Chains A and B, each alone.
Chain A
Amino acid sequence: MIKSQSRRLESFRKELGALTALILLCVVMSFASPYFFSLTNLMNILRQSTLIGIVAAGMTMIIITGGIDLSVGSVLSLSSCLTAGMIIFYGWNVWLSVILGILIGAVFGLINGLLITQIPLPPFIATLGIMGVARGFAFVYTGGAPIYTLPKSFRYLGQGMIGPVPFPVLLMLVIYVIFYLLLKRTKLGRYAYAIGGNEEAAILSGIPVAKYKVIVYSLTSALAALAGMILAARLDAATSVAGDGFELDVIAAVVIGGTSMSGGQGGVIGSLIGALIMGVVRNGLNLLLVSSHWQRVILGLIILLAVTVDVLRKKGIFGKARR
């Protein structure tokens, strides 16, 4: 019993590193700015982390299978524009439009998955292509102009509060509970690890690899579409430029969270912490009046630092070497 418990702790060791970094950051920021540790600001950080956080849950799964998805930013934008269009231009029911928008997102994921498994194209190439296609459609559909003055019921997605907690934050937490269970307790998750661990072995073990890859890409694109809704609802505008470069932020959160780009290892808890680290750093730098230009530099360095620590830890520089 004791043994299995220490094993369980062991399996969280990776997340522990990221968590320690997050806590340290919070402590430092609390000293640097008196405003940082207020409830309003903390909620702010959580709210700002939701978009990256939500999509990172799916991206984690993709990266665990040994893949990558560069199209999430574009899918986010296109889905939000189409949904906003359905509501504003055609006057369709808000919730129907949201669901359709998410389904359209999922279809792009399906296409990603089919390109990757049926042709097969490398995930980088397939999703790079779809990234362009989806972004292009968003421009074509909107003519480059934002779609705004969305109804209040829609804006709730981004601006609603349940007690002191923003609705999208709650949504994110629910998504993380679901994805945690998916990854750790279901066939889908177990097979994702197996595919990333050794795809050939997975095929020879009778796993329908193509099917599961398609599911994983579809789920992630659906999450990207959902994030698009939340963003449009928060800004009260859907735009064809939304989520530009977003895919890299999402990948960064996953990597900071300790998921290995070579596949087969990692988990969503780390990615949530990774998203929060990025949120805290952005927020803290804003409070300290660091320009957004310098913020990019600093965030880039943080990614390098996080992965360096991870690599060194694997080499056994920190703690005992494994053999």
Chain B
Amino acid sequence: MGVVSLDQSYVVEMKGIRKEFPGVVALDNVGFNLRKGEVHALVGENGAGKSTLIKILAGAHQADHGDVYVNGQKVNILSPRHAQELGISVIYQEFNLIPYLSVAENIFLGRESMSGRYFINNRDNRARAREVLDRLELDVDVDETVAELGVAQRQMVEVAKALSMQANIIVMDEPTSALGNREIEQLFKTIEKMKAQGISVIYISHRLEELWQIADRVTVLRDGQYIATTDIDKLDKEQLIKQMVGRDLTEQFPERNVRIGEEMLRVENLSKAGVLKDVSFRVRRGEVVGFAGLVGSGRTELMRCLFGADRFDTGKVYLNNQEVQIKSPRDAISHGIGFITEDRQGQGLMLVRPVKENITITALDQVIKKLFIDYEEETNVAGDMVERLRIRTPGLEQEVRYLSGGNQQKVVIAKWLLEKARILIFDEPTRGIDVGAKKEVYSLINELVGQGVGVIMVSSELPEVLGMSDRIYVMSAGRITGELSAQEATQERILEYATKE
């Protein structure tokens, strides 16, 4: 490689990185650099190589070729521990916190102050934890158990933990994917404070809009190739998307021309103590009904009640003007309701089972002849779905865990299509999936309402709610605080209702 003169202002510089996995080139001649005190966004569709690049920096993978410089020194990062010693900390989407330990215990886990040889000095730990949290003016109680904290606060604990390790390079992997708008603002404030202290942040996100709020520069990867690094002010969203997908995605929300029919579902005064209060809404044939609101406003809880996954106290549910009793998901399914949960991996998929089995699981009766599953029929039925939804998988027997996020989501959708659900609840349908797959999901929703399905779409991404819904309900603190037609809805009006107590 030879001697390379380095710009001292870079805290991280990666050059000519190549990484191969059996059968795939994950990264090919990729470069990346990070300045002191900047937020550098790293974007690309799923499979573009972002995670691989980060894992190399974090010491979880080793590059096959290429050089990594940290603070001007050429390094070969051998392990996550080594990365930590170099001041690199990664905050993953799934947090690495112990739920039943306190905030302070989590921050200093494995690095506790001791009094003497055998005893942990709790007082000192708590004081140090408070100090770190204060540095970023984070409003978290050090004695609180992590299990009691919300997602945003857990994230702050992770940040504090990283800072307590003297990290000056922090990688955030999709930090906002589970946050509501207000929490995102909080997170951005925290990031600003980190910047002010000279900490550099590598920021990975699928929510492109927010990059203009928080990032200084953006690097785009596509199919394992380096595409470009640009100051964020020098380009707009369309140009960025073009870089990511290599083509114009002119219409992000595809056109829909569906005649909305009669009422299919009506919920009246549904209440659940402490969670939901007097919620009433309706869904018509061929309609996409958006549910907007902050995280914790009760949208998911409402959908779980409607689907029979949780019990509610009072309220009535009508399907085609007939009152129905839904006491379990089984009841809901028998009434033609399907539920695509927000947590695909935790609630939607059997990760260690093949694509085929995940698709046919709800509609198994369709492929059972007498007592036995008809394998040929099952393969045909599942194969049709894979084709129809363009699920990218090496085969029907592939375990779902090896699929990308977007394709996993399509598997979840496939199972409800097979079941021929007439009312489909999508809870955060595009969370954590890439731009291309998002558009496919939108097209699919359009196709479904075209066939007379009623769609309920819970989403925290306002552009998505606005772009897709015929009508929007806004929730706050367990109540519906507003109903807007597609014509009257704007981001401002939704936020106004969403913050109404």
Answer whether residue B357 sits at the interface, using C-beta atoms and an 8 A cutoff: yes
Out of A186, A198, A202, A260, name the residue touching B372 (CB < 8 Å).
Answer: A186
CA distance A193 to B357 in the complex (A): 9
Residues in A195-254 with C-beta less than 8 Å from chain B: 197-198, 200-208
Q: A186 to B352, Cβ gap below 8 A?
A: no
Answer whether residue A11 sits at the interface, using C-beta atoms and an 8 A cutoff: yes
Of all chain B residues, the one with the shortest Cβ separation from A208 is B330
Of all chain A residues, the one with the shortest Cβ separation from B415 is A205
Of all chain B residues, the one with the shortest Cβ separation from A262 is B352
Chain A residues, Cβ within 8 Å of B330: 206-208
Answer whether residue B450 sits at the interface, using C-beta atoms and an 8 A cutoff: no
CA distance A92 to B160 in the complex (A): 74
CA distance A120 to B375 in the complex (A): 35
Chain A residues, Cβ within 8 Å of B346: 198, 200-201
Q: B329 to A198, Cβ gap below 8 A?
A: no
Q: A190 to B350, Cβ gap below 8 A?
A: no
Chain B residues, Cβ within 8 Å of A293: none
Out of B347, B353, B357, B371, name the residue touching A204 (CB < 8 Å).
Answer: B347
Q: A193 to B353, Cβ gap below 8 A?
A: yes
Of all chain A residues, the one with the shortest Cβ separation from B337 is A206
Stretch at the interface among B67-75, B145-153, B361-369, B478-486: B361-369
Chain A residues, Cβ within 8 Å of B352: 197, 260, 264-265
Q: A206 to B362, Cβ gap below 8 A?
A: yes
Beta-carbon contacts of A1-40 to B below 8 Å, as 1s and 0s?
A: 0011001001100000000000000000000000000000
A190-B373, A203-B329 given; A264·B350 CB < 8 A: yes
Number of chain B residues close to chain A: CB under 8 A? 36
A204-B339, A205-B362, A206-B362 given; A321·B22 CB < 8 A: yes
Of all chain B residues, the one with the shortest Cβ separation from A198 is B350
Chain B residues, Cβ within 8 Å of A264: 350, 352-353
Q: A11 to B397, Cβ gap below 8 A?
A: yes
Q: A187 to B22, Cβ gap below 8 A?
A: no
Answer whether residue A194 sits at the interface, using C-beta atoms and an 8 A cutoff: yes
Of all chain B residues, the one with the shortest Cβ separation from A265 is B352
User: Number of residue pairs across A and B with beta carbons under 8 Å?
Assistant: 87
Number of chain A residues close to chain B: CB under 8 A? 32
Chain B residues, Cβ within 8 Å of A190: 357, 361, 364, 373
CA distance A207 to B357 in the complex (A): 13
Q: Nearest-CB distance from B242 to chain A (Å)? A: 30
A201-B347, A323-B402 given; A207·B361 CB < 8 A: yes
CA distance A201 to B397 in the complex (A): 19
Answer whether residue B444 sits at the interface, using C-beta atoms and an 8 A cutoff: no
A181-B372, A190-B364, A203-B309 given; A10·B349 CB < 8 A: no
Of all chain A residues, the one with the shortest Cβ separation from B396 is A7
Chain A residues, Cβ within 8 Å of B379: 4
Out of A11, A202, A320, name the residue touching B350 (CB < 8 Å).
Answer: A202
Answer whether residue B307 sits at the interface, using C-beta atoms and an 8 A cutoff: yes
CA distance A190 to B349 in the complex (A): 14
Q: Nearest-CB distance from B328 to chain A (Å)? A: 8
Q: Nearest-CB distance from A164 to chain B (Å)? A: 33
Q: A185 to B373, Cβ gap below 8 A?
A: yes
Beta-carbon contacts of B382-394 to A below 8 Å, as 1s and 0s?
A: 0000000000000
Out of B309, B347, B397, name the residue touching A10 (CB < 8 Å).
Answer: B397
Answer whether residue B341 sits at the interface, using C-beta atoms and an 8 A cutoff: yes
CA distance A321 to B351 in the complex (A): 18
Add 20 more A-B contacts to A187-B364, A323-B402 (CB < 8 A).
A3-B395, A7-B395, A181-B372, A185-B371, A185-B372, A186-B368, A186-B373, A191-B364, A194-B353, A200-B346, A201-B348, A204-B307, A204-B347, A204-B348, A205-B333, A205-B362, A206-B328, A265-B352, A320-B22, A321-B21
A interface residues with partner B (beta carbon < 8 Å) = 3-4, 7, 10-11, 181, 184-187, 190-191, 193-194, 197-198, 200-208, 260, 264-265, 320-323
Q: Can you spell out 23 A-B residue pairs with CB atoms less than 8 angstroms apart?
A: A3-B395, A11-B397, A184-B373, A185-B371, A185-B372, A185-B375, A186-B373, A187-B368, A187-B373, A194-B357, A198-B350, A201-B346, A204-B309, A204-B347, A204-B348, A205-B329, A206-B330, A264-B352, A265-B352, A320-B22, A321-B22, A323-B21, A323-B22
